Amino acid sequence: MIGDRRVGVFAAMSLDGYLAEPNDGLDFLASVQREDEDYGYMAFASRVVGYVVGRRTFDVVTELCDGQFPHVGRWPIYVVTSKASERKEVDGLTFGALDGLASWLASNTPETTGDEVVWCDGGGQLIAALSEQIDEWTLSVVPTLLGSGIPLFPEGRPSVRLSAVGAASYDSGLIQLRYSRTP
C-alpha cells in the first residue's frame, strides 16, 4: 500500500522475465493476442482508481499509440519521472518525482477500502522501486524467450515475499500467475 491505497501490477513478460525487447519493442506480445481474449484485463481495469506509470513506459506507449496515451481521462494518472524538479500537470497527466507519489495519490484518488487498486504499470525500474508496497501481482507469462531486453525485475531490488493467489493457462500458451504481498 501507498498510504491507504492498494497497489496492483498487471503486466506481461517473456518467460525469461522481460517486459520488452531491447529496443523497447513489444512485438513478442502478438503471439498471444486473440480477438476474443483479454486475459482478465477488463476485470482488473474495472477495479482501478488511479494509474502510475514510469516516464520511459509512458513515452513508449504514447509513441505506439500515435501520440495519444491511452488512459487519459479514464483514471487520474501520475507519470513518475526523475527529471521533474517539481510536479506539473499537462493535459490530464501529472508528471512528478517518485517521492511525490503518496501525496498525489492521497489528493487525487479515492481511498481503496475493498478490491480497488492503483495500477502500477512500470516499467521495471518503477516496479522495483515500489515492489515492497505492491499488494497484488498479476503476471502474464508469454511463451517466448527473448534472451535480452527490459527486465521486469532488475537487479538490486528489495526482497519481497509473496503468496500465490491463483494461476490460469490459456490456449495461446500464456500462463497467468497471481500473487499477493505477504505481510
Q: What is the pLDDT of residue 91?
A: 83
Reading the block at residue 4, the C-alpha cell is 491507504
Q: Do residues 101 and 117 lie in contact, with contact meaning Cβ atoms separated by under 8 Å? A: no
- The mean of the pLDDT values for the chain is 91
Q: Tell me: pLDDT of 86 over 70.
A: no
| Three-state DSSP class for residue 178 | strand
Q: Tell me: pLDDT of 88 over 90.
A: no
| Three-state DSSP class for residue 54 | strand
Q: Please report how many Cα atoms fall inside a 13 Å half-sphere around the Cα of residue 31, on the Cβ side.
A: 17
User: Domain total for the chain?
Assistant: 1
117 belongs to a structural domain: yes
Percent share of the chain, pLDDT over 90 = 65
**pLDDT confidence tier of residue 22, bands split at 50, 70 and 90:** very high
**pLDDT confidence tier of residue 84, bands split at 50, 70 and 90:** low
31 belongs to a structural domain: yes
Question: What is the domain-level CATH number for residue 104?
Answer: 3.40.430.10
Compute the 3-state secondary structure of the chain and give helix, strand, coil in percent, each to the nearest 5: 25, 35, 45
69 belongs to a structural domain: yes
Q: Do residues 122 and 12 lie in contact, with contact meaning Cβ atoms separated by under 8 Å? A: no
The string of pLDDT tens digits covering residues 122-154 is 778 899 899 999 999 999 999 999 999 999 998
2 belongs to a structural domain: no
Tell which residue, 120, 127, 62, 72, has the closest CA to residue 94. 72
Q: Tell me: pLDDT of 3 over 90.
A: no
1 belongs to a structural domain: no
**pLDDT confidence tier of residue 167, bands split at 50, 70 and 90:** very high
CA trace torsion 14, 20, 25, 29 (10° rounding): 30
79 belongs to a structural domain: yes
Q: What is the pLDDT of residue 7?
A: 95
The string of pLDDT tens digits covering residues 27-74 is 999 999 999 999 999 999 999 999 999 998 999 889 988 888 888 888
Q: Tell me: pLDDT of 78 over 80.
A: yes
Q: What is the pLDDT of residue 125?
A: 87
Q: What's the chain's Rg over C-alpha atoms?
A: 16
85 belongs to a structural domain: yes
Contacts of 149 (CB under 8 A, 6+ apart): 14, 18, 19, 20, 21, 22
Containing domain of residue 121, as a range?
A: 7-133+142-181
Query: Which residue stretches of 1-149 are H helix?
Result: 41-45, 55-64, 101-108, 124-130
